[in-house]
A and B are shown apart, each in its own frame.
Chain A
């Protein structure tokens, strides 16, 4: 089954700790990205990756890091957690059509609900 898998699904943790949220896709997609979803603000892109070892900032990258060492994995790293990182996080992947320089539809993971106290 084609899917995007995130872990953990739920987490309550404390300010200052480090967290890595894992994301893995089994569709051989080149393009992967992270979004956060907040009430009233909708879904906003944090970081994206167009292929292995190629990453760039989205709209709200502050406080986050990413890496793309393998095509299937795209972990989100929160180096020092703060309460304003309390949110619902989604990883997504898309097939990239190089010839047309565009991506197809995005497939989303089930989400990681993070609470930082």
Chain B
């Protein structure tokens, strides 16, 4: 069964304290791994797409990387406005025409 697991469930950082969020996946034929940011009560906001192992994408303080089994979202020198829940999702070759399989998310809190 296709599965996506994110860790940790919650992460508290001080402003400027860099860290990484993990997304491990067990799927049959990866067709893309996606990172989203979700603020409370709002829709997920697209951040990155990664398609193959070794690929990296960057945006401001965020950098996403991908291996054959997991993806990391590195946050460098975070600010309070980076506080949100970060969701990882995958699409596989065999799923229903493009369903996103989501992890449970990591709730990030950055204190000033």
Contact = CB atoms under 8 A, between A and B. Distances in A.
Nearest to B100: A106
Contacts of A44: 102
Contacts, number: 66
B42 A111 contact: yes
Contacts of A56: 96-97
Given A42-B103, A45-B100, A48-B99, A108 B49 contact: no
B43 A109 contact: yes
A24 interface: no
Interface string A18-35: 000000000000010101
**Helix, strand, loop or mixed for chain A's interface?**
strand
A88 B85 CA distance: 15
Interface in A38-62: 40, 42-45, 48, 50, 56-59
Given A43-B44, A108-B44, 14 more contacts: A31-B98, A45-B96, A48-B99, A56-B96, A92-B100, A102-B31, A102-B98, A103-B91, A104-B49, A106-B46, A107-B46, A108-B36, A110-B42, A113-B41
28 contacts: A31-B98, A33-B99, A33-B100, A35-B100, A42-B102, A42-B104, A43-B87, A43-B89, A43-B100, A43-B102, A48-B96, A56-B96, A56-B97, A58-B99, A59-B99, A90-B43, A96-B98, A102-B31, A103-B98, A105-B34, A105-B46, A105-B49, A106-B34, A108-B36, A108-B45, A108-B46, A110-B43, A111-B41
